[in-house]
Structure 1
Amino acid sequence: MINRTNNCRIQLLMFAILALLSVACQKNEPEPPLADQILGSYTVTSYKSGNASVNLPATTTTGITVTAKITSTKVSDDVASFTFIFTQTKSGIASSSNSKLNDVSLKKGSNGAIEGSIGMDGISWQNNQLTLTFGDADPAEVLTIYGKKD
């Protein structure tokens, strides 16, 4: 019985050593470039203009349905461009307008979010949530758009 107990202990010790070596030898995958992490299409869930907030999609009292999308494209590993497309549809006829943030330099913020800005405009991305801000000297004119990755 003593030999069997010792054999079990030796086998358990060997298993533990192999498990530790396996974990220690695993290679950590490098973090993808920042632009790759935020690349893609986002459905706008809401926007805020000044003090007014609107959840999307929304339908006005005149029967116009409002939706919006954001598309992020990679310029380089740490630079991306963003296009915000605002669409109004009534009786099957759609009209769209867009705004762009081109060549935004990206960096990791202290909270882990990917951030970037050009002048008063900026972006923030974390957990597949993208926020675009079109700034203005007049706070009532600041437009903040919130999107979720498709």
Structure 2
Amino acid sequence: MANAKASFTGESSRTPDQKRRLAATLALLAVTARRVLRFADKFDGWTPTLGGCHQNVDRWVESHPGHKAVRGWLDVSFLATPAARRFTAHSVVADENGDLFDVTLGSSDLECSFILHPGSDDDFRYYALTPGEHSLEHAPSA
């Protein structure tokens, strides 16, 4: 199933080593993580699709000239095994000033730090759109 989706996105599967390297990089980049304002429940007439952050952002950007999609990862380490870090692919919006805000999560959702994706848009799309690949976990070596 993952291969079918991967071929849809035009990307080949990632090796376990590539996934481990990305997860380790995200763990290092966690010190650069930003808090992103969660505005999904603040805009009149805006109804995001639950679990559809990438599509929500694309839809927002289409109707708001000057805004850009920003791809990255939420640090959801509270879901990881002890001593590990966990990250899930997520998309947010940058306004004309470069300020980031979330059009999927609202003020009542858990606040998680956002890490910019360190690779290409195609690389991010693979992880975000391939079933079973949207979350990564990094467990430090003993």
| TM-score interval, smaller chain | under 0.3
Q: Which has the larger radius of gyration?
A: 1
Structure with greater helix percent: 2
TM-score under structure 1 length normalisation = 0.26
More strand by share: 1
